[in-house]
Structure 1
Amino acid sequence: MTIMHWLSRSLAAVLLVFFGGWLAAAQAASPDLPRDKGLPVVIKAGVAFVELFGFDENAGTFRATVDVRLSWFDGRLAKSGPILGIPPDTYRDAAAETRMKEIWVPPVVLSNQQGEAAFSSYGLRVYPDGNVELLHRVTADFAVDVDVARFPFDRQQLFTDVAIRGVPIGLVTLQFDQSDIDFSRPSVGAGLPGWSIGLVDLRSSPISSWYNSSEARVTASLTVARQPGLVVASIFIPLLASLLIPLLAIWLNRMEEGVFQVDAFELVNIIIGGLFAVIALNFTVYSSYVVLADGDNTVNRLFALNYLALATALFVNIFFGRFNVLARVFGPYVQEQAYLVIMWAVPVLVAITAAAFMLTAAV
């Protein structure tokens, strides 16, 4: 028991030393933190979407130009004496980057950015009262999560994560106020073919870090709604039309005095042709919209309904038309009445199910 107690105390001491060293290193990495208002240093963040170049939902990325605005207070930069009416010191591009090396700047990254930025530019304002405003314009690809459960009536969130990396939230934190919310919006000229542009939402979503600590993050999400017209015409009309193939294989036959007038072989050929048509449509759709292949969505449901309807039509034609099972067991009259029920029950069930799938996605 003594040895176990000694080991546990030793382990706790090692962890304490390691964590203390990590925290000290984090503080040493930011020796110039402005501590005029205490810790944590509050950074206000806002993101404006200037231009949208494309959204690849299969890859889960979009390309955009965004303006990231950060503002904080650093009393060391305040001017002495009367400051009323004194304009801020303004720096652009190379001058801004040079000035940023001379003052403390929060270690902010766009954590969902993919690869190098295609364009990056800075603007810096240092106000005489010590307030600092940094504007970073960047064009890059950003990774997003795509949810197509309500396809083609879905809405997607094109977001940019503004995060503080390497500094605990107890030292530097990200927040936003009404001015940042007003700043965070899509520009008038921002557009995305096939999508309607909505509003930008800001939310705080800290990142879990080492030893139960957190790092600050603000997520700016631009809502875009899919315009379903073209998708409905190119995908859903063929999907719904293909449901008619198994129904025709049932409707085309008729009975006279309990005897089918159309050979089951001909109707089975129609069903097999419908099967190949659905497989071809399946391949075409999933080649264009790879993201639809996984998960539960309206397209997958309608494909499943197509296969089920084809299997039902095949069973009905073989069970009734080829082997006359009911006629042999219960007589021709029972088979004729059962077939009449199936002729109307199957189309009604298929229509109701397909309508329910579409309404579930639309509402």
Structure 2
Amino acid sequence: MMALCALKRLACLLFITLSLCSLPRAGAAATPAPLPSGVFLPIQVHVAVRILNVSRIAATEGEASMMVELTERWSNPALAFDPKVSGFGRIDTVGDEAVQTLSSMWTPGTEIENQITTARTEATSVSVRADGTVTRIRRIDADFRVDIDMTSFPFDHQDLTLSMVSPRHAADEVIYVMNDLDREMSSIETDVSASNWTGKRLSVVMERYHGWNARPFVRVKAMAEVERAWQYYVLPLFVPFLAVTSVAVFILWARVSLIGDKAPITYSALLALAALSFTYESSFPGSISMNSPIAVMVSLGYFYLIAVLLTDIVLIYADYPGKQRYPHLEPEIRAYIRLAIPAIFLLICLSVAFNALT
């Protein structure tokens, strides 16, 4: 009798456990629809990318805020219909209706790998043609992780890359393709919202990589090239720099009676140069911290000011060979270095700037 009761209790416990396991869990992801039937694998998904706007480029954070339009097109014969019966050759849905339509059909599940924030705005539209061709268009306004190269600032061009993959389907199931129409559709707006930036061109390439399960996948990389309007940076960057480093010219050319002790003036210029570098970094983030040409010039400026002061001290106070025997030697050396040292520094700065332009 006790054994029978124990069996009944065990059966009740097993029934409750199975019942709890069969209940749907909150937040569980819906099972994706199976691959379309009646199509050859891998399924070709045509893709086109448009950059509608670039509203922010943060160099130090490596981020860009963009509005992206992603168009995907594939064939699903199971969705074909007779246009003579329906009276139209295409079914269009937008917004929530489009999202509901997509939830009941197979999609490539394309994701933008380097999207780092939830989309501020997102709009979706779906078109199903009579032959079963499905076109999905998504407009996404979000922040993306990008690589920023400041080595040519302020004459730089940046490639803002979007990386798109289908994590659910390997290359033997889904591949991305582009034809001439897709490439013609892919573009970037010239007039963007980001201050002092201009959109130039958009290029799209496909590459193969291996996922965590060692299966090959296809990645789409859309590279949007933007150009900085360097004309707006020349005066704020280079005029203050030249004004501070011009102290060296006064040290070499002015009389002692005119400027007095030269050491305090030089160290004041060094402090001004340090303050100028902080101003550059706060006004143009990344201009100093990311090894830009202006950062190289500021570093050379410290050396230049100290070198001029030391040269002047040596000529005046040091007992170098021939100073007593040839009294005219110091004026001759000073006349030479007055032109040579500033000219060499100017040529180095110009070469750094021109190297950034090329």
TM-score for the superposition, normalised by structure 1: 0.82
Q: Kindly indicate whether residue 57 of structure 2 is the aligned counterpart of residue 55 of structure 1.
A: yes
- CA 1:324–1:70 in 2, change beyond 3 Å: closer, same or farther? same
- CA 1:84–1:99 in 2, change beyond 3 Å: closer, same or farther? closer
Greater mean alpha carbon deviation, residues 291-300 or residues 113-122? 291-300
- Amino acid paired to 2:78: R
Alignment correspondent of 1:89: 91
Q: Note the 1:157-236 alignment, pairs <5 A.
A: 157-187=159-189, 190-210=192-212, 212-236=214-238
Alignment correspondent of 1:345: 340
Alignment correspondent of 1:15: none
Greater mean alpha carbon deviation, residues 262-271 or residues 192-201? 262-271
1:306-353 deviation digits (Å, cap 9, x = unpaired): 112112112112211233535546532223322222122101111211
- Amino acid paired to 2:230: P
- CA 1:322–1:124 in 2, change beyond 3 Å: closer, same or farther? same
Question: Does the 8 A contact of 2:161 with 2:221 survive in 1?
Answer: yes
- Distance in 2 (alpha carbons) for counterparts of 1:275 and 1:249: 14
Alignment correspondent of 2:309: 314
Question: Does the 8 A contact of 2:108 with 2:169 survive in 1?
Answer: no
Q: Say which of 242, 245, 265 aligns to 1:243.
A: 245
Q: Where does structure 2 lack aligned partners over 5 or more consecutive residues? A: 1-30
Alignment correspondent of 1:270: 265
Q: Note the 1:1-363 alignment, pairs <5 A.
A: 32-34=34-36, 36-79=38-81, 86-187=88-189, 190-210=192-212, 212-253=214-255, 266-326=261-321, 328=323, 331-363=326-358
- Amino acid paired to 1:348: A
- Amino acid paired to 1:300: A
- CA 1:340–1:167 in 2, change beyond 3 Å: closer, same or farther? same
Question: Does the 8 A contact of 1:90 with 1:123 survive in 2?
Answer: yes
- Distance in 1 (alpha carbons) for counterparts of 2:222 and 2:33: 29
- Distance in 1 (alpha carbons) for counterparts of 2:118 and 2:139: 14
- Distance in 2 (alpha carbons) for counterparts of 1:358 and 1:302: 9
- Amino acid paired to 2:205: R
- CA 1:330–1:38 in 2, change beyond 3 Å: closer, same or farther? farther
Greater mean alpha carbon deviation, residues 345-354 or residues 284-293? 284-293
- Distance in 2 (alpha carbons) for counterparts of 1:321 and 1:35: 92
SS at match of 2:200: strand
Question: Does the 8 A contact of 2:190 with 2:200 survive in 1?
Answer: no
1:36-83 deviation digits (Å, cap 9, x = unpaired): 342211111111122332222232212222211000111111225879
- CA 1:326–1:234 in 2, change beyond 3 Å: closer, same or farther? farther
Q: Percent identity of the aligned residues?
A: 21
- Distance in 2 (alpha carbons) for counterparts of 1:340 and 1:112: 59
- CA 1:139–1:110 in 2, change beyond 3 Å: closer, same or farther? same
How many residue pairs align between the two structures?
328
- CA 1:351–1:142 in 2, change beyond 3 Å: closer, same or farther? same
1:295 Cα deviation after fit: 4.5
Question: Does the 8 A contact of 2:281 with 2:289 survive in 1?
Answer: no
1:281 Cα deviation after fit: 0.4
1:226 Cα deviation after fit: 0.5
Question: Does the 8 A contact of 2:323 with 2:329 survive in 1?
Answer: no
- Distance in 1 (alpha carbons) for counterparts of 2:247 and 2:306: 11
TM-score for the superposition, normalised by structure 2: 0.84
Question: Does the 8 A contact of 2:65 with 2:144 survive in 1?
Answer: yes
Alignment correspondent of 1:21: none
- Distance in 1 (alpha carbons) for counterparts of 2:251 and 2:328: 21
- Distance in 2 (alpha carbons) for counterparts of 1:188 and 1:265: 55
SS at match of 1:349: helix
SS at match of 1:69: strand
- CA 1:341–1:99 in 2, change beyond 3 Å: closer, same or farther? same
- CA 1:208–1:288 in 2, change beyond 3 Å: closer, same or farther? farther
Question: Does the 8 A contact of 1:200 with 1:223 survive in 2?
Answer: yes
- Amino acid paired to 2:335: L
Question: Does the 8 A contact of 1:200 with 1:222 survive in 2?
Answer: yes
